[in-house]
Amino acid sequence: MLTGKTNEERIWNYLTEAGMTACGAAGLMGNLYAESGLIPTNLQNTYEKKLGYTDAAYTAAVDSGAYTNFAKDGAGYGLAQWTYHTRKAALLAFAKAAGKSVGDMEIQVDFLLHELSASFKTVLATLKTAATIKEASDSVLVNFECPADQSAAVMEKRAGYAQTFYDKYAGKENQSMSNSALVTYTNISPNKNSPRTHAIDTITIHCIVGQWTAKQGCDYFASTARQESANYIVGKDGSIGLCVEEKDRSWCSSSASNDHRAVTIEVASNTADPYAVTAQAYAALLDLVTDICKRNGKSKLVWLGDKDKSLAYTPAAGEMLMTVHRWFANKACPGEYLYSRHAAIAAEVTKRLTVTTTPTDENKEDDDMKIYKLLADVPSSYKDAVQKVVNKGALRGTGNGELNVSEDLCRTLTILDRLGKLD
């Protein structure tokens, strides 16, 4: 089902949900706009007088069977201005099989994706990996639409249309992206692309091959000489560093297409196989991944454990896919210790994302508030701040070792601690 308030918003949502990068979706839409103005019933203007039909009348006549020369009349029609007789015949058959009008928007975008998947695989591959608007727009122009005029001026004009869609929709997506409140240290690396060109639907966990703190990791990636970075660093002590904001693409996985859609996380580890991580780092990693999924509207973390299946997989709206560095380069990353735990990480994070609480008090103001009974239950990212308040005697709980501290209070204390208010 198409979602959105306008034709262009519906098409944008459909294409990006189908796995196209923001540049890819924009490049395709710029060409469709040049062809039809994104109007699915559009009959090529020069044929309206020749055939004696308006857009609506032509569509109705084809649907009813009153007009039988749809495939071979040579007139461009629909979003992509399908013209060649075999492609128009296939569009009509596709619509009839679904019991819908040949001018139905959803039918046409479904057919468009069907054509790309079956007959224009190279173009589709470009649209799913494109990191620039021009790359995507030129590929559609030259290899899919194939108009008579493919001059540099036409390429520039269509890429301009594409840029408009990119600025309108990709810009809105990037503005809505946030960073984790669990971060304890920030040092933004210059090694990035800003903004990322694909909505976040992937998480890639790495091992940093060194028992570092988050500060050490962020400071290491701050040098332009490194030519590498990650969105987050998880330190050996459970500290969490922000190295590249989520709205931007890090240089982390030896794959631009992966990193444009992935939040990348480097985790402090031993320097030899199996590159084990500390208990504090692992606990902080689970907290961070859960937080990333929540803020990006995901309720399930998916680990397929197979490169080909994963790279061919299109995550559903509520899913976050896991990938690994070793699939894109001859590396052991993320190390056997973390790699062997990916299924467990996916299960635990999904469990946390789907946990619901049973209200015990009808008048409870917040039924979903998480309560940590003991200090040991408090996540590592909050624990230092809570411990300081306990040590000062300001937080005593019930007096029998139970704190019963809420997650909201933990967050507040952590923020105060970062501001130096608890020292």
| 9-52 tens-digit pLDDT | 999 999 998 989 888 999 999 999 999 999 999 999 999 999 99
Higher pLDDT, 361 or 233: 233
Q: pTM for this structure?
A: 0.51
- Joined tokens for residue 53: 């039909």
Task: Report pLDDT digits (tens) over 110-145.
Answer: 999 999 999 999 999 999 988 788 889 999 999 999
Instruction: State residue 376's pLDDT score.
Output: 80
Average pLDDT value for the chain: 89
Instruction: Count CB-CB contacts under 10 A for residue 151.
Output: 10
| Tokens found for residue 75 | 């007139």
Sign of CA dihedral 78, 79, 83, 84: negative
Are the CB atoms for 217 and 266 separated by under 8 Å? yes
Q: Where are the domains of the chain?
A: 7-175, 185-354, 371-418
Give the largest CA-CA distance in the chain: 89
Rounded distance, CA 376 to CA 394, Å?
18
Encode pLDDT of 163-222 as tens digits: 889 888 885 555 556 788 899 999 999 999 988 888 899 999 999 999 999 999 999 999
What pLDDT does residue 349 have? 96
pLDDT in tens, 80-109: 999 999 999 999 999 999 999 999 999 999
Q: Rounded to whole angstroms, how far apart are CA atoms 39 and 52?
A: 19
Domain 7-175 has CATH 3.40.1710.10: no
- pLDDT tens per residue, range 272-281: 999 999 999 9
Note the pLDDT of residue 364.
39
Residues 6+ apart with CB under 8 A from 376: none
Report whether pLDDT(232) > 50: yes
In the predicted model, what is the mean pLDDT of residues 72-87? Answer: 95
- pLDDT grade, residue 384 (50/70/90)? confident
**In contact, 180 and 291? CB cutoff 8 Å:** yes
Q: Read off the pLDDT band of 53 (50, 70, 90).
A: very high
- Reduce the secondary structure of 49-70 to three states and give it as a string: HHHCCCHHHHHHHHHHCCCCCC
Cα–Cα nearest to 205, from 289, 265, 282: 265
Strand 185-186 with 240-242, pairing = parallel
Q: Hey, what are 128's tokens?
A: 């799913």
* In CATH, 185-354 is 3.40.80.10: yes
pLDDT of res. 117: 94
How many Å apart are CA 174 and CA 93, to the nearest integer? Answer: 39
- Are 409 and 397 spatial neighbours (Cβ–Cβ below 8 Å)? no
Across the range 368-373, mean pLDDT stands at 70
Q: What is the pLDDT of residue 120?
A: 95
